[in-house]
Structure 1
Amino acid sequence: MNRIVLKGHAKDLGDHFIIKRVLPAMEKRSIGPFVFLDHFGPKKMELGNEMVVRSHPHIGLATITFLYNGLIHHRDSLGFSQLIRPYETNWMVAGKGIAHSERSERDPNSDLLEGLQTWIALPKDKEDIEPSFQHIGKAEIPKLEDEKSTIYVLGGEFQNMTSTAVTHSELIYVDIQIKIESSSYSWSINPSYESGIYVSKGKIQVGDRIIQEGELVYFEVGETISFQSLEPSRLMLLGGRPLAERRHIWWNFVSTDQEKIERAKELWAKDLFPKVPDEVDRIPLPEH
């Protein structure tokens, strides 16, 4: 099998904050409803070297933020002000339009910041729903642990465990920590789902392909997820039912309708999006 493997590429989010962007890619624009995957860090947080993502808009998608290390302060135009810590998730549904900001905070337990942010394209009939926000603490996330691995089900259903996250798309999103090297894993998921495993740390082997840190290996619709760990690793399993329609993506906007993106661009340019309380700075509309 000529298996698809995506390699994260470096991107500057501004102020020299470099991340790995894995999705979208030329080889694969989406996996299930997931249209975007960024791996940020690990980066040492020092005074004057914080992560600052000023107020910016979204439409037509849901964002998921999951941390390995550090603290991030989320603020949005619904009025939510929420710290997110490791093993917690922030689910933000943009729907017809939301603005938010993200800033790192000092963490007494770690001077590193690292995590993943993914975007989910909302179903066509839900692109214009009311925006919403859900924070899920570590104790609320289903966990399965044995001598080989620790698994947290962040979204959807996996191994008879169901996430408490409210989702509008058929998906699976699972944090997997492999504790030992040279062990084999094989899991069946919904046969209508495609999926991928992203290697945040470590190394695994799928068939005759070695998947390195910063790479994502793709599994086709209905395919059993099988791999061997080559060393202790941190993985993210993601996927779901493939999108039925093409998605337009421009900056922070996702839609099946290009006209909706044009309207969102105009609203942000004219400062007519909902405002984020206690945020003065905003990211201007890009020229391109």
Structure 2
Amino acid sequence: MSNINLIIEERPRNIGNFMVGRLLPFQSKRMVGPFIFIDHMGPAKMTAEENMDVPPHPHIGLSTLTYLFEGSVMHKDSLGTEIEIKPGQVNWMTAGKGIVHSERTPEYQRHGEKSLHGLQIWVALPKELEEMECSFYHADEEELPHWTENQIAFKLVAGAFAGKTSPVPVHSPLYFIELKSEIAQQVSLGDHLYGESGLYILEGAVNAEGERFGPRQLLVAKDSKLCTFEMEAGTTVYIFGGEPLPEDRLIYWNFVATDHEHIDHAKAMWQAQAFEPVPGETDFVPLPPEPSNLRIK
């Protein structure tokens, strides 16, 4: 019996002045473990006249994980954080009861050619932590656990896996792992995975159950304990997942919550510009005029 429950192709989405490939949520699979939203940014080449500019916007009820392969993004938030994220580093921002942030091309890159490529991820908070205080954590690449096993280069970006733990302060049992292989070989990870699992192919190809899968595809396993596949030479994949949250989730724009009251409060707060602002920034992303609630499980 096949262990591939679902194959998800990236769908193009416009996030303002930048196109991304959306992976989650998907119509028939809204979450994988606590992972509720994944966008693949790029790879994009930008001219001197083109820059990434996402003005201040709010979040509640989630943690964001930004992980870049190429380029650079300047992150600023309402806590006063101002930090540039570069390839291999991790930005982990926990919104809790509410945070505001902006994401832009750094000033020193704005007047020349540049590239951008990476993942933007949301992880839903457990119900009891929905209104926790917001926080921000940045990890340099060398802080993340990395090792080689059977000629596969592993990097644990977030969570716990195979007896190792990332320093990124996650709020529920989860994992986000990078695997790189320069040779073709079989991979079996079921002994170390738990909860629900997804496998995203960044480059190269994966062979499983007689089929070949390539870049921009997300495979969702029926049973994470049966996670076995072949990586072709020159392949990079990301495996993510963890224990599912017991309650349904609502998504409205950038807000994630277990009930409508939290969503409605956040909407009213943003319309009144009552969130703590990002220091030094005056523009903002307005609340969408007619967004729809989307129940997630």
Give the TM interval when normalised to the shorter protein.
over 0.9
Q: How far apart are residue 48 of structure 1 and its match? A: 1.9
Work out whether 1:159 is the aligned partner of 2:162: yes
8 Å CA contact 1:158, 1:189 repeated in 2: no
Work out whether 1:21 is the aligned partner of 2:22: yes
SS at match of 1:259: helix
Select between 5-14 and 204-213 the one with higher mean Cα deviation. 204-213
Q: Which residue does the alignment assign to 1:253?
A: 255
SS at match of 1:26: coil
Q: Which residue does the alignment assign to 1:120?
A: 123
8 Å CA contact 1:191, 1:221 repeated in 2: no
Change (3 A) 1:226 1:96: same
SS at match of 2:225: coil
8 Å CA contact 1:152, 1:176 repeated in 2: yes
Q: Which residue does the alignment assign to 2:225?
A: 223
Q: How far apart are residue 167 of structure 1 and its match? A: 0.9
Q: Which residue does the alignment assign to 1:46?
A: 47
8 Å CA contact 1:54, 1:102 repeated in 2: yes
Change (3 A) 1:67 1:194: same
SS at match of 1:184: strand
Contiguous gaps of at least 5 residues in structure 1 = none
CA RMSD of aligned residues (A): 1.7
The code of the aligned residue for 2:160 comes to E
The code of the aligned residue for 1:155 comes to A
Q: Deviations over 1:23-51 (max 9, x none)?
A: 00012100000000000011113222111
Identity of aligned residues (%): 37
SS at match of 2:264: helix
Change (3 A) 1:18 1:189: farther
Q: Deviations over 1:165-202 (max 9, x none)?
A: 1111110111222222x311101255641100111222
- Normalised TM-score (structure 1): 0.94
| Distance of 2:191 and 2:279 partners within structure 1 | 41
8 Å CA contact 2:189, 2:225 repeated in 1: no
Q: How far apart are residue 152 of structure 1 and its match? A: 0.9
8 Å CA contact 2:161, 2:192 repeated in 1: no
Q: Which residue does the alignment assign to 1:214?
A: 216
Q: How many residues align?
A: 285
Change (3 A) 1:279 1:189: farther
| Distance of 1:254 and 1:58 partners within structure 2 | 8
8 Å CA contact 1:13, 1:19 repeated in 2: yes
Which runs of structure 2 are paired with 1:28-39 in the superposition (5 Å)?
A: 28-39=29-40
SS at match of 1:38: strand
Select between 271-280 and 143-152 the one with higher mean Cα deviation. 143-152
Q: Which residue does the alignment assign to 1:58?
A: 59
SS at match of 1:268: helix
- Normalised TM-score (structure 2): 0.91
Change (3 A) 1:5 1:184: same
2:142 pairs, out of 115, 139, 143, with: 139
The code of the aligned residue for 2:63 comes to A
